[in-house]
Amino acid sequence: MTYSYEFPRPALTVDIVVFALDEDDLKVMLIQRDLEPFAGQWALPGGFVRLDETLDAAARRELEEETGLKGIFLEQLYTFGEVDRDPRERIVTVAYFALVNLEGHKVQASTDARNAAWFAAGDLPALAFDHERIFDAALDRLRSKVRYQPIGFELLPPKFPLRSLQHLYEVVLDRELDKRNFRKKILSMDVLVELDEIEKDVSHRAARLYRFDKKKYDRKTRKGFNFEL
């Protein structure tokens, strides 16, 4: 079976840059390619868009098929259409960026036994195609967006100590932050709820837990409040 058209068409794919956070640094999910081109090399998860699914649905499907991740924060990033970005033929890709809380989601290699793994964002291997460029665009977006939208919380478990939140901002923005100023600023925005709970099973002194109050944030935003860190 083949599909014929009056004019030639580029193929259309989605690719997803998935960020996560661990105790050390910002992580990115990569897939080891088992087919040419770039067989054996690491690449972003992704694949072809089907005719009967939206772009977002294609990104969610590919992400789940290739990494097992589902139900996570996903946002369209940019569409890459350089003429020679794929050696096989003209392929245009709609790139997404995704954020996941590692404590809540287990990553598994895909069913077709392709290798999936987390890499430190600051120390990636050479990537297939133009995936380094896509990764750079995703990191830029994450860095500018965490400052004026509360998307960083997607990288944390629902309940977190302020230390983890500061670690998130330090790792994403790649600079140290003053503890007192950071706490003062985030608490003054009044979008966190201080919980009656402290950390469990930690070797250091257990710290107070907080959660992000999405409803309050939405309410304040409608009245002109701007999140800014």
Q: Token digits for 6? A: 């009056």
Residue in 35, 83, 113, 126 binding a copy of itself, rule: CB under 8 A: 83
Out of 22, 33, 92, 105, point to the residue binding a copy of itself (CB under 8 A): 92
11 binds a copy of itself (CB under 8 A): yes
Q: Between 97 and 210, whose beta carbon lies closer to a copy of itself?
A: 97
76 binds a copy of itself (CB under 8 A): yes
All residues at 6 or more sequence positions from 52 whose CB lies less than 8 Å from its CB, including other chains: none
**Residue 149 exposure: Cα atoms within 13 Å on the Cβ side:** 7
Stretch that binds a copy of itself, among 63-71, 82-90, 108-116, 195-203 (CB under 8 A): 82-90
The binder of a copy of itself chosen from 34, 53, 136, 140 (CB under 8 A): 53
CA 55, CA 27: separation in Å to the nearest integer?
24
CB 192, CB 210: distance < 8 Å: yes
Q: For residue 212, what is the DSSP state?
A: E
Q: Which of 7, 23, 88, 126 forms a contact with a copy of itself (CB under 8 A)?
A: 7
Q: How far apart are CA 55 and CA 95, in angstroms?
A: 10
Interaction of residue 36 with a copy of itself, rule CB under 8 A? no
User: Can you tell me which of 35, 51, 113, 126 binds a copy of itself, judged by CB under 8 A?
Assistant: 51
Q: Please, is 97 exposed, middle or buried when counting C-beta atoms within 10 Å of its C-beta (0-12, 13-18, 19+)?
A: buried
Structure tokens at 101: 């809380």
Nearer to a copy of itself, 130 or 209 (CB): 130
What residues line the site for a copy of itself (CB under 8 A)?
Answer: 1-12, 48-49, 51-56, 76, 78-79, 81-83, 90, 92, 94
